[in-house]
Chain A
Amino acid sequence: MRDRIPTPSPPAPSRRRVLRGGIALGAAGAAALTASGCGSTLAQGFTGGAPSPSRLNFWNPFTGGDGERMLAMQDAYRAAHRSTELKSATFLWGNPYYTKLTLSTLGDRPPQVAVVHLSKLPTLAEAGLLTELRTDDLARHGLTEDKFDARPWRKSQFGGAPHAVPLDTHPFVLFFRTDIAEKAGLLDGQGQLVDVDGPDAFIDALRAAKEVTGAWGGSIASVKEASMQFRLFWSLYRQVGGGDLVADQGKRVVVDTAAAAEALAYIRRLSQEKVIPANTDGKGAITLLTTGKAGFLMDGVWQALAVRSAKVKFDMRPLPRIFKDAPYACAADSHALVLPKAPDEKAQRLDLSLGFIASMLHSSKLWAEGGHVPAWLPTQRSRAYKELVPQSHYATAADGAVYDPAAWYGGAGSTMQNVVGDAVTSVFTGETSPTAGAARLRRDLRTLASRPAPV
């Protein structure tokens, strides 16, 4: 925004010397980097050459608790594979991450292995950005179908062939403070949360918690977090029996506006009855729970570590079954490992990459401690996992897990999540009525659907 150039003024020779000095300093810095081993990277900057064959670049969108787990898993890999130079990079979740991944693949410089959400898999695969995996290659590294949770495994297929190796399922769940619940009389004799299913039961529970906290009953991210609002809506909409939002890979809008309005009306009730605040961002929502200003939190399982680190008494359970019109449902997604399509086999490093993926799966227990339900059955069925608390308390949520609607503009952190989430937020804050919100949602989806698909 500021490419303005001024006019020259009388000469000042000493400045020139300073500038020269600056350039020399820069050159010296570059030389120092070369000496310290970064030189090959700088040289590649000029030649565009590929990195050394022992190098494995790995990209992921994990920050916070997930990021810490992922670092531990990488350390485990490094300890076992000293000859491989593993370099990982973390990017901002959602569209920015997927745009980077797309552009790097188009630019022939993708990472060897990357994490993607399975909700994005069809779009990425159809765009030709992923390497198709062969079952015998996978089997060579012990990655066979029988070792994976069926749901994410099925979701990893595209055009009849695997294009990703699933790592987990991560549903949208309910966190609660056991101490607050107890004071609110919401725990039964065994210290379990009483039944909070049903539209009124849930709000009653929130209200009881509110009386204990003196501030709020529950919390959810509503500011700057369109995705979280999407998850809430998508879960309830499915529970009402709304079915899909779009069909034909996003070309047709099939949203059931009556069901959408019903789900939105309930979301509005949560803020209208003042049991949940309508102006909290992601961090704020967690802080309300951990500081005892809210008894419940609706969030993804991946926040388990963030809540745990506050050292408060808490537990987790699947999102309540608010509506009984359809089978139980809660929004969920899966992380999976993919091989972005490299310009040639040498750059792909298939076996190195698959070896790394296998190592990640063998660290599934570490990953599960961060809250995710592992897709790797040897871990999921292990005693150690079943003894994990509160992980075992919400494992059943995976059965009701519904992925995002399939569309080229859909998936984790996508335009669809933003558009739908924004409409939900405006109902949640009371700016729009539930019926108008449902109409807006349908209109916005139609606009998206009318666009010619780029893949």
Chain B
Amino acid sequence: MATTTAPTPTSSRGDRWAGPGMLLPFALFYLVFLVGPLIYTVVAGFFETSLLKSGLGDFAGLSNYTAVLGDAEFWRTLRNTLWFTVLTTVPLVLLSLALALLADRFVRGRWFFRFAFFAPFVLPSAVVSLLFMFIYADQLGLAQEAVKWFGVDTPPSWLGDPDWAMISIAAATVWWTIGFNFVLYLAGLQDVPREVHEAAAIDGAGPWQRIRHVVVPMLGRTTTLVTVLQVIASLKVFDQIYMMTAGGPDGSTRSSLQLIYDTGFVEGRVGYASTVSLLLFVVILLVSLVWFALVRRAEKES
């Protein structure tokens, strides 16, 4: 990059290469670790690539695609992932909105709420999983104890019952990540001008009506952002499920990303796993594109 230190700012030769030269280091990493792997994923999907043998392996044509699309397990993990997305996105958006609306009314003590709701967000998934595996433990966990106070005699095995496991993991995830949305909403609320409140109050609107008819509609854009970020994050769920249930019981919590991990690294079927990867990539890409379209529209409106 010696060429970039050309002394004159005018369009000398060095100048022409300055930009590309400074872009180069990042671009190399970008190509090697993102673009290259993406191309490899596309290619490997057409081969019987194995983790345990070198090279791409036998050409498979579209057989991986037909196998994946005809594999009940692929669809089940996708359903599980969507179920997790619903279970997390709905409370994470609504509850964080409610919490932010409430917290916004109090200037004093806000740091406390911010700490309580946001601190879990900085924890590693491993710590969150350790914590909740203990809370959800059979017979001796806090969660079973807690529902007993409410008169339930035989609480379910939170992580051992196929009907409850995903809900339990989603609840832990809500605890863990709500702070991010909470803070986004708090910021969105800062942009609601005081006068709006005052005008509505003079009109005789109670606090509840003001929130419902004035404040919430003004948070529309924040809600879009929060929702889409949440959906994308939830579609990529892996860590806490892998650690808490490893996809069980009876496969009821296995996510799409775990299917990739399992087929690719546990079973060593790289070709098949690449196909699943590409399909999951397409799903996430579509969600991202929807988001971009929404952003575009929002920008045009404003």
Contacts and interface: CB of A to CB of B under 8 A. Distances in A.
A and B touch in the complex (CB under 8 A): yes
A18 to B, nearest CB: 16
A96 interface: yes
B246 interface: yes
A224 B248 contact: yes
B272 A451 contact: yes
A17 interface: no
Interface in B247-294: 248-251, 262, 265-270, 272
B250 A422 contact: yes
Interface string B160-171: 110000000000
Given A223-B160, A422-B249, A447-B73, A4 B180 contact: yes
Nearest to B64: A452
Nearest to B58: A452
Contact of A447 (B72, B250, B272): B72
A279 B157 contact: yes
A415 interface: yes
Interface stretch (B36-44, B47-55, B208-216): B47-55
B274 to A, nearest CB: 13
A119 to B, nearest CB: 16
A454 B249 contact: no
A99 B262 CA distance: 9
Contact of A1 (B139, B159, B239): B239
Contacts of B265: 99, 102-103
A171 to B, nearest CB: 25
A426 B52 contact: no
Closest 7 pairs (CB-CB, A-B) = A223-B160, A454-B268, A454-B50, A127-B52, A422-B250, A1-B233, A224-B160
Interface residues of A, number: 34
A384 to B, nearest CB: 38
Contacts of B125: 1
A96 B246 contact: yes
A281 B121 CA distance: 31
B233 A455 contact: no
A442 to B, nearest CB: 14
Contacts of B272: 451-452
B89 interface: no
Looking at B52, B229, B233, B250, the one whose CB has the most chain A CB atoms below 10 A away is B52
A2 B88 CA distance: 14
A409 interface: yes
A425 interface: yes
A409 B267 contact: yes
Contacts of B15: none
B237 interface: yes
Contact of B267 (A96, A224, A415): A415
A228 to B, nearest CB: 13
Contact of A455 (B50, B72, B161, B238): B50
B138 interface: yes
Interface in B189-239: 229, 233-234, 236-239
B249 A99 contact: no
B177 interface: yes
A425 B157 CA distance: 14
A312 to B, nearest CB: 19
